[in-house]
Amino acid sequence: MSSPSLPQYHYEIGARMSRGDWEGAGAAAAGCRAAWPADPGGWLMGSMAALFADHKEMALALIEERLAIDPGDAACLIQKAECLLALGSREQAIAAAEAAAANAAELPEALDAVGTFLALAHDHAGALRIYDRAVAAAPEDPSIISKRALIHQYLGEFDLAARDYEWALSLSPGDSEALKGLAELRRQSAGGNSVAAMEAALATAPADSKDAATLHFGLAKSHEDLGDYASSWRHLSAANKLERARVIYDPALDRGTMQRIIAGFPDMETARADTTGESPIFIVGLPRTGTTLVERIIGSHSAVHAAGELPALTEAIATAVGRAAPQLANTWLGYAEALGALDGESIAREYLARSRARRGSRARFSDKAPINFYYCALIFRAFPKARVVHLTRHPLAACYAIYKTRFNGAFAFSYDLMDLADFYVGYRKLMAHWHRVLPGRILDVAYEDVVTAQEATTRRLLDYVGLPFEDACLDFHLNPASTSTASSVQVRQPLYDSSLQQWQRYAAELAPLRERLVAGGIRIEEATP
């Protein structure tokens, strides 16, 4: 029997990867390399499968084998960058991506891939340089132009972002991402909005498509700006229904995970010896509760480098679980069960190694990964001198702000009101537990206080983290550092309080969520109109 042809190998590898069969894909890729050693696909797809299976070193070794044969293969250099970033070697990863760009000639697809990688690595200035080349190479590709617009947005260059979105729309008037992006850059007004264009694009988009969801989110934002709250909620509900259908999410799994974490830390954490000398500032909480705002305030201090949303803690903890309890590492419930017995010193070493390239050169650094609220006890085990700032917000204001945000696949609990309510209840129970076992060590900062009592709250925040007050922290909106969060537009503006009561316009629509929260033990204090 003859061996499979090269297209047959590629098809089998791709089919297995599409099913999440990483081991099977890896085996098929090995067969491809043996039968067709001159073809780069066996190495490239084999490395991808290994990386998806979390075999990072194997993934890097495979791609290095191929690059030894063809050092200028741009696709393999990008894959090398992905492997290095996964291993925590950000500087080397960016160097590999730059090498890919140097070998990409002016091929738009290759430059697009490099730009996407650099944005993922939070090198937004580098990504912009690459997208400038990509746009020059493909000036009639609205997708690439819209991606450059987003990078301009992250860098606070809103006029340039608007220009690019408008350019993309001149080429493709129904481009959903450009329409939504333009609507989010500016407050929509009766004399200047994209509602008609979005409605026209929605009429031709497949009803269950990603484009339809994007346009519904854009229309929800636009109608809210225009004061048509009934239409805004109608589009918001449609958008979230489409997004919920696209994600795989088990609410019971999240609840069980938080319950097991609570069970794993039953007593007050005893003081630990400090082995690092580091006092990182962790900013945690739910998304859309002011975590980016507080990061910008702290990061405007001369002694602090704002490192952004680092994956280093979750990666360090996952590594520790894999070493200490490999039999529990393959499921979320098992993973959560293993956390209580972990050693903080090994987590600290791994975290510092993985975050080194993004911690900057200042005396202190902040890590704003909201989901780190899962790991408060482990943070203090790893770094006894750490500071944990926990952002809070009125429950209905927080839930509404989350529900109206498209997270592009993240925060799967956010697209259904009942899922959102249940997650919120579990999160509040977990934070209450951390306050019980770590009394006085976590600072709760209310978003409402930041907005309505800026200087007093900033002084309290800086006092907690052990820094003297600086006026620059009040002018956080002048901070030129890039940001790629959902608040990238808002944090470039001085504080405003219009969002505090926004949820009240949808009190009737939020009533089922409110009832679920109250049933879960959440007290809903009435906000002052």
Instruction: Dump pLDDT digits (tens) for 343-367.
Output: 999 999 999 988 887 888 899 999 9
- Total Cβ atoms within 10 A of residue 270: 6
pLDDT classification of 114: cutoffs 50, 70, 90: very high
- Report pTM: 0.88
Q: Are 415 and 240 in contact (CB under 8 A)?
A: yes
Tally of helices (H runs) and strands (E runs) in the chain: 25, 5
Examine the pLDDT at 529 and tell me if it is beyond 50: no
Examine the pLDDT at 528 and tell me if it is beyond 50: no
Q: Which of 382, 397, 421 minimizes the C-alpha distance to 521?
A: 421
Distance, in Å, from the CA atom of 219 to the CA atom of 213, rounded to the nearest integer, reads 10
Same domain, 280 and 355: yes
Total domains in the fold of the chain: 2
**Average per-residue pLDDT for the chain:** 91
Percent of the chain with pLDDT over 70: 95
Q: Name the packing angle between helices 454-465 and 291-299 (round to 10°).
A: 70
Q: Are 220 and 387 in contact (CB under 8 A)?
A: no
Same domain, 217 and 366: no
Question: Residue 349 domain-assigned?
Answer: yes
Q: What does the pLDDT read at residue 483?
A: 60
Which CATH number does the domain housing residue 349 bear?
A: 3.40.50.300
E-strand ranges in 206-335 read 281-284, 304-306
**Taking the alpha carbons of 426, 428, 434, 436 in that order, is the dihedral positive or negative?**
negative
Same domain, 413 and 463: yes
Same domain, 328 and 276: yes
Same domain, 357 and 443: yes
Examine the pLDDT at 421 and tell me if it is beyond 80: yes
Same domain, 355 and 334: yes
Question: Residue 182 domain-assigned?
Answer: yes
Question: Residue 263 domain-assigned?
Answer: yes
Examine the pLDDT at 296 and tell me if it is beyond 70: yes
Distance, in Å, from the CA atom of 283 to the CA atom of 295, rounded to the nearest integer, reads 7
Same domain, 461 and 338: yes
Sheet holding 387-392, edge to edge: 304-306, 364-367, 281-284, 387-392, 442-446
Ramachandran region of residue 434, left (φ > 0), alpha (ψ -120 to 50) or beta?
A: alpha
Last-in-domain residue among 211, 246, 281? 246
Q: What does the pLDDT read at residue 100?
A: 92
Q: Which of 380, 404, 152 minimizes the C-alpha distance to 287?
A: 404
Same domain, 387 and 413: yes
Distance, in Å, from the CA atom of 393 to the CA atom of 65, rounded to the nearest integer, reads 51
Ramachandran region of residue 393, left (φ > 0), alpha (ψ -120 to 50) or beta?
A: beta
What string of DSSP letters covers 269-316?
A: PPP---SS----EEEESSTTSSHHHHHHHHHTSTTEEE--S-SHHHHH
In this structure, what token pair is assigned to residue 141? 């590709």
Question: Residue 94 domain-assigned?
Answer: no
Examine the pLDDT at 527 and tell me if it is beyond 50: no
Q: What does the pLDDT read at residue 496?
A: 56
Which domain covers residue 386, as residue numbers?
A: 255-519
Same domain, 352 and 383: yes
Three-state secondary-structure class, residue 391:
strand
Q: What does the pLDDT read at residue 346?
A: 93
Question: Residue 123 domain-assigned?
Answer: no
pLDDT classification of 325: cutoffs 50, 70, 90: confident
Q: What does the pLDDT read at residue 488?
A: 57
pLDDT classification of 330: cutoffs 50, 70, 90: confident
Q: Which of 51, 42, 113, 46 minimizes the C-alpha distance to 83?
A: 51
Instruction: Dump pLDDT digits (tens) for 447-470.
Output: 999 999 999 999 999 999 999 999
Q: Are 407 and 213 in contact (CB under 8 A)?
A: no
> What average pLDDT does range 9-34 have in this prediction?
91
Q: Name the packing angle between helices 74-86 and 56-69 (round to 10°).
A: 150
Same domain, 240 and 263: no
E-strand ranges in 352-500 read 364-367, 387-392, 442-446
Instruction: Dump pLDDT digits (tens) for 206-225.
Output: 999 999 999 999 999 999 99
Examine the pLDDT at 495 and tell me if it is beyond 80: no
In this structure, what token pair is assigned to residue 87? 């291993």
Q: What does the pLDDT read at residue 34?
A: 92
pLDDT classification of 174: cutoffs 50, 70, 90: very high
Last-in-domain residue among 246, 281, 303? 246
Same domain, 441 and 363: yes
Q: Are 327 and 334 in contact (CB under 8 A)?
A: yes
Q: What does the pLDDT read at residue 240?
A: 97
Question: Residue 11 domain-assigned?
Answer: no
The angle subtended at Cα 236 by Cα 516 and Cα 227, nearest 5°, is 110
Q: What does the pLDDT read at residue 375?
A: 97
Q: What does the pLDDT read at residue 255?
A: 93
Question: Residue 199 domain-assigned?
Answer: yes
Distance, in Å, from the CA atom of 101 to the CA atom of 205, rounded to the nearest integer, reads 34
- Cα maximum dimension of the chain: 78
In this structure, what token pair is assigned to residue 111? 């430059």
Last-in-domain residue among 246, 265, 285? 246
Q: How far is CA 409 from the centre of its chain?
A: 9
Examine the pLDDT at 514 and tell me if it is beyond 90: yes
Q: Which of 134, 129, 90, 128 minimizes the C-alpha distance to 111?
A: 134
Q: What does the pLDDT read at residue 237?
A: 98
Same domain, 236 and 275: no
Distance, in Å, from the CA atom of 529 to the CA atom of 518, rounded to the nearest integer, reads 21
What residue type is 208 in one-letter code? D
> What average pLDDT does range 98-123 have in this prediction?
91
What residue type is 99 in one-letter code? A
Question: Residue 225 domain-assigned?
Answer: yes
Q: What does the pLDDT read at residue 490?
A: 63
How big is the chain, counted in residues?
529
